[in-house]
Structure 1
Amino acid sequence: MSAAPMADDQPDQVVPPMTASQMSAQRIEAALAGAWRPDADKARDTYRHPLQTLQFFGIRPDMTVIEITPGGGWYARILAPLLRQNGQYIAAEFTPASSDEARQDDATLQKLFASMPKVYGKARVIQFDPQAPNLGAPDSADMVLTFRNAHNWVQAGTAQAMFKAFYAVLKPGGTLGLVDHRAAPDATLAAVKGSGYLPQDAVIKMATEAGFTLDAKSDVNANPKDTKDYPKGVWTLPPTLALGDVDKAKYQAIGESDRMTLRFVKPVLPAGAASAP
């Protein structure tokens, strides 16, 4: 009776190589699991869906990515480690002189990046004037990301300038990824301007007027429980809970806002064509 073949006699199992998308997902998941992320940050993953959102935007670890006004750094703690080895993360903040909040956010991010250089690598903070934004050399970034900021620009009257700045800094073919609170389908911009919500069509119009092409829409950050009719606007909901303990359980049960998730592309134009309207 012949002996059973040894394991070494068996053919090697063929493992297909990972696609670029699979590799990016693996790297995003590693960043999400990082010990440097506070538990409070991780608790919000169920509302903000960072893995699915970043996959939808098409982020890769070798990109130069500018995040617009990252605040306290919720996405910075994901993006900077993701881009540390082969890419570049840039946090674009308002000049500290523009407000106390801007001063605080700038200091928070500077301290964060300096505290763990092995985690955040060469992540850096740049500053720009919100009235005349300049985000860097033209055609220098692969991706611009902005999370829950567009409603602030609309209220401040700077939305047109911001979208033009995004267009200018992105390379042809580059991506603008935008998430913001989505108003009811029949809402007008004038009616909801102070609520924190924005009509999705109005945001698309702002971007396309700056030269972008809408590439895709996603409902990854949708919340059908959000009725969008609260006493303190979107800030009535978590995480702000602007009414304090008043109906707190009700608003916690709703969760965070219903959000649009939009991917725009800066077109690759023929030689000699005008670059933007």
Structure 2
Amino acid sequence: MYDQSKLSELIRFARVDAGSTVIDVYPGDGDWTRLFSDIVRPDGRVFSFVPAEVAHFKNDPVGRMRTLAMEPGRANVEAVSADLLAMPEVTQTADVLWLHLFYHDLHTALIQARGATAAAFNRAVYERLKPGGSYVIVDHAAAVGAGTSDAQSLHRIEPASVREEVEAAGFVLDAQSTVLANKDDSHSIKVFDPSIKGATDRFAYRFLKI
């Protein structure tokens, strides 16, 4: 997770408030799910959505989110899992869909093996959000001109490619944030490399369903 100032900025940027319904896609350790659960309060709802494409991982992501949902004070959390494109079938209409360091995976063999594509997923997100809802994407930046070519090898994606793909689904770019930018990142190193891990140049986009 990030320091408190960056967390606060990202929450403000995502426009998650008390009473919001949030879908946290590929929640990892559940840090964002817990944070959103605290913010939306009992009147809100958080769907911790584990794509079936990654449900087989050894760390048991589905089981971990089900355990999280049973923690005291987490009655507003529901752990769900399905194929990525079936996300609308296991969630409810949402105010915010949060995608943290995952969008690039839409261009990897692991995710595409079950038929998912970025274009189809973006359409599914559009279907699931309320009018005026926010689609928030935070990801590792690739070099200008790289497009989606580094998604598999470096786990990076060019911000311009993300914008083009998401806007093609009908969304409008509402805001972008540089709170996670790192001008010293060469964009040529895999994001898990110890020399850059946790400090990659990251972009944040907020798109709206009009």
Give yes or no for TM over 0.5.
yes
Matched, 1:263 2:195: no
The AA in structure 2 aligned to 1:78 is L
> Partner residue of 1:38?
none
**Match 2:20 to one of 47, 60, 63:** 63
CA shift digits 1:75-119 (9 cap, x unpaired): 112111222322111111123x754228711111111221x222x
Highest Rg: 1 or 2? 1
SS at match of 1:78: helix
Q: Residue in 2 aligned with 1:248?
A: none
Q: 1:257 to 1:215 in 2, by over 3 A?
A: same
1:92 corresponds to: 49
1:126 to 63, 74, 80: 80
TM-score by length of 1: 0.67
* Higher RCO (C-alpha under 8 Å, 6+ residues apart): 2
> How far apart are the structure 2 equivalents of 1:138 and 1:46?
30
Aligned pair 1:117/2:65, yes or no?
no
Unaligned runs of 5+ in 2: none
Select which of 97, 100, 121 maps to 1:147.
100
* Equivalent in the alignment of 1:49: 6
**Is the Cα contact below 8 Å between 2:16 and 2:39 reproduced in 1?**
no
Distance (whole Å) between structure 1 residues aligned to residue 206 and residue 153 of structure 2: 25
Compare the two structures and name the one with the higher strand fraction: 2
Query: Relative to structure 1, is the Cα distance of residues 75 and 144 closer, same or farther in structure 2, using a 3 angstrom cutoff?
Result: same
Task: Give the conservation status (yes or no) of the 8 Å contact 1:128–1:135.
Answer: no
**Preserved CA contact (<8 Å) 1:93 1:102:** no
| Structure 1: 5+ residue stretches without partners | 1-43, 242-250, 268-277
User: Alignment length, in residue pairs?
Assistant: 204
- Shift of the 255–71 alpha-carbon distance from structure 1 to 2, 3 Å rule, reads closer
Report the equivalent of 2:122: 163
TM-score, reference length from structure 2: 0.87
Partner of 2:136: 177
What fraction of aligned residue pairs are identical, expressed as a percent? 25
Q: Do the aligned residues in 1 keep the contact of 2:98 with 2:135 (CA within 8 Å)?
A: yes
After superposition, where does 1:1-277 map in structure 2 within 5 Å? 44-46=1-3, 49-95=6-52, 99-101=55-57, 104-114=60-70, 116-118=71-73, 120-130=74-84, 132-136=85-89, 140-155=93-108, 156-157=111-112, 158-190=117-149, 193-230=152-189, 233-236=190-193, 241=194, 251=195, 255-267=198-210
More helix by share: 1
- The amino acid across from 1:210 in the alignment is A
Contact map agreement 2:47 2:91 (CA 8 A) in 1 = no
